[in-house]
Amino acid sequence: MITIKQLHKRFGKNQVLKGVDLDIAQKGVVAILGPNGSGKTTLIKSILGMVIPDKGELCVDDISIKKGWKYRDQIDYLPQIANFPANLKVKELIAMIKDLRNRPGADDKLISLFKLEPFLSKKLNTLSGGTKQKVNLVLTLMFDSPIIILDEPTSGLDPIAMIHLKEMIAEEKAKGKIILITSHIMSFVEEIADEIVFLLEGKVYFKGDIDALKAQTQASNFEHAIANLLTHDDA
């Protein structure tokens, strides 16, 4: 469970989060959406402890994240842009992450799934963007944590890798996990998300399932519903 109450964050003169209230108690896939500058990344980094809010409360399993860092062991995180050490080989990076987390990882299964065997002995700076993203997914999904955060996970993936990603998300969801996702690919979101959280100007503007969103915006499909949120007079 993730509980957020009146979360505020300012960077200089820019007020990014303006009293975010959000409860994520139900297991499943929650898509955090919103236009650029709406506060999505800041909210995610606040959950991870990478950004310190100016005020408000953020709890994971009813324990404030201010009371320690160990809650992060419960979270697997895929960043939108992964900055890998350029001279490391893929297999060396995987081994390093397993050592850092001091946990066993199901990397063999994921390496096989994403057909990464030919790249294990290659240095990371020689890989294409799509292959780096597959490595990024292995590093994220090889651990069995109850919370998964995926920031733009489809970036650079080919159609077959996209299918495997959806299958992996479905498997993790079936285990009863909370999975937070950001994406600009609305067809991907519509296919996998159980709930939508829409941020606008630093606040939660909508929270509910896709059918409720379409009903509220009087839209016939999901993409039009999102567009209507952005153009609604009340926004």
The length of the chain is 235
CATH number, residue 95: 3.40.50.300
Q: Give the rounded percent of residues in the chain with a pLDDT score beyond 70.
A: 98
Tokens of 159: 């159609």
Average pLDDT over residues 68-88: 88
Domain that holds residue 193: 2-231
Torsion of CA 42, 44, 48, 50, to 10 degrees: -20
Q: What is the pLDDT of residue 67?
A: 82
Mean pLDDT lowest for which of 29-33, 102-106, 115-119? 102-106
- Going by pLDDT thresholds of 50, 70 and 90, the confidence category of residue 36 is confident
pLDDT tens, residue by residue, 58-76:
999 888 988 888 888 899 9
Q: What is the pLDDT of residue 233?
A: 44
| Total domains present in the chain | 1
Query: How far from 8 is each of 15, 94, 198, CA to CA, in Å?
Result: 8, 36, 17
pTM over 0.85: yes
